Amino acid sequence: MALRAIANIPRGPRAAVGLGRPLQRRTALMRKGQTITETEDVITQEELTKLQYQSAMIVSDPICDVGEKEVRDFLIPTKPPARLLMDWLPKPIGDWLWWRSGRAKTTEKLFRLVLERLENKPLMEAFGITMGFNHQLYWLTLHAWIFHQKMLQIGDDRMDYYFFEHIWVLPKTWLLIKRVPDYRFSSELRNTMEYSYGGCVALDRALRRGDILAARLQEQLHANIHSGEIQKDDKRLLLLTKYTVRQLSYILRVPHDDFIFANFVWADFPLPAYPARPLPNRGALIDRSRPATRMPPTQRR
């Protein structure tokens, strides 16, 4: 099942270490994360039944599941260069340097993988994601959160911390492009990071119950990425939910060694066939009733 690997992700205050540490008000945010994560939602039996039905409908699509054999198709079969350089060293020293260099390189590679999603315009168009600041921020947060869940599974807080150090560079750059005044830049950046952190906490809440996991993810994606601007039964939102379930279940099944060195790519996600945009009617400007003629070559005198 697509949700089997997702159900084993660690929960609790430790799950917010990599997200909250770069913020200035880390203590307050950690307390906020604990409060949201540790409290149980109060839902009626009728609401629970609807969520279970909706979740079952979403995960019934085979596109949501990535089997263990299919995971191998997206792995890069290369031996880590750092390991090759340190094979001649004594094992304790070589392993220590191997892990240190591996983490440093992996955070950069993971950041490039997230950046590739931000540059994939056909994918964003299929999900109704525009180039606006809020859409791009939460689209960035979604993929960073997926990698964050894998780091929780591995138990590597240091990699998590340095990975988000790379992630926060993009919101800073976007604010600079918007020409936010200097006297408001720090507060705007802090608010942006808090909104991003809140989106991750909301996604964490959706993972607490496997029977309604997909439906809860759909609710959070509707509230955060689309800010409630589209209908909850919109096909683009449903497609985005299936994409999230597929990528999350796939990343959690990537072997730890391959993830540490980022020897993988995103799982493919076939998009529905969209009608091609009509090109300008240049044929109307050409009279096809007469055969095409060529201009005579220029004669030299």
Per-residue pLDDT of 201-229, as tens digits, reads 999 999 988 899 999 999 999 999 998 88
Within a domain: residue 94?
A: yes
**Whether pLDDT at 137 is above 70:** yes
The mean predicted confidence, pLDDT, of the chain is 77
**Residue 275 falls inside a structural domain:** no
- For the segment 16-58, what is each residue's pLDDT rounded down to a tens digit? 444 544 343 333 333 333 333 344 567 788 888 999 999 999 9
In a domain, 291, yes or no: no
Mean pLDDT of 90-99: 57
Give residue 205's domain range.
Answer: 6-39+47-266
Per-residue pLDDT band at 105 (split at 50, 70, 90): confident
Structural domain total, the chain: 1
In a domain, 271, yes or no: no
Judge whether residue 111 has pLDDT over 70: yes
What is the band of 12 on the pLDDT scale with cuts at 50, 70, 90? low
Residue 28 lies in a domain: yes
Q: Report residue 11's pLDDT band, with 50, 70 and 90 as the boundaries.
A: low
> Residue 90 — very low, low, confident or very high, per pLDDT cuts 50/70/90?
low
Q: Is 282 inside a domain boundary?
A: no
Q: Evaluate whether residue 118 is within a structural domain.
A: yes
Closest CA to 254 of 74, 8, 11, 98: 74
Instruction: Give 248 or 20, the one with higher predicted confidence.
Output: 248
Model confidence at 159, pLDDT cuts 50, 70, 90, reads confident
Which distant-in-sequence residues (6+ apart) come within 8 Å of 94 by Cβ?
86, 87, 88
Burial environment of residue 159 by CB neighbours within 10 A (0 to 12, 13 to 18, 19 or more)? buried
Mean pLDDT lowest among 117-126, 134-143, 199-208, 282-291: 282-291
The answer to whether residue 259 sits within a structural domain is yes
The pLDDT, as a whole number, for residue 229 is 86
What pLDDT score does 114 carry? Answer: 96
